[in-house]
């Protein structure tokens, strides 16, 4: 797994400070290990920044807004790189967080539980 030690901390801080409303809403549910896993936000990961990352489970959660509609091939390349590094990526549209946060939370919780079982954790 690649080193997730912050290399561009100024950029990471900027991304956290400029979080979208959807990112802020989801962070309120992911922070403090509320999903049964510890997540960090806007963490450098290789050449990318993960919106939300659980290092223990190698789980990345990405929120997609309008900019992702413009160049979807970037997300394909990013997801492929992350998969090659052993990460699982869950993607949700910002609209999903605003309109169906319960569904987003359920999907994340389900994946956390699945990865814990795969890792032999409880």
Would you state the pLDDT for residue 68?
Answer: 47
φ and ψ at residue 63, rounded to 5 degrees: -110, 130
Domains identified in the chain and CATH numbers: 9-118 (3.40.960.10)
pTM over 0.85: no
For 54, the token pair is 């659980």
Spatial distance between the Cα atoms of 1 and 23, rounded to a whole number of angstroms: 25
Would you state the pLDDT for residue 119?
Answer: 87
Residues of the chain with pLDDT under 70: 1-8, 11-16, 18, 66-71, 122
Q: Tell me how far CA of residue 120 lies from CA of 57, 67, 81, in angstroms.
A: 11, 38, 25
Would you state the pLDDT for residue 35?
Answer: 87
């Amino acid at each position: 797994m690649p080193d997730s030690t912050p290399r561009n901390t100024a950029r990471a801080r900027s991304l956290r400070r400029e979080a979208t409303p959807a990112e802020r809403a989801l962070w309120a549910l992911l922070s403090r290990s509320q999903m049964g896993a510890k997540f960090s936000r806007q963490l450098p990961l290789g050449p990318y920044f993960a919106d939300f990352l659980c290092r223990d489970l190698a789980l990345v959660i990405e929120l997609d807004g309008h900019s992702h509609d413009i160049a979807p091939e970037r997300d394909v390349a990013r997801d492929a790189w992350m998969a090659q590094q052993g990460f699982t990526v869950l993607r949700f549209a910002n609209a999903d967080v605003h309109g169906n946060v319960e569904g987003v939370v359920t999907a994340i919780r389900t994946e956390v539980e699945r990865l814990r079982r795969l890792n032999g954790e409880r």
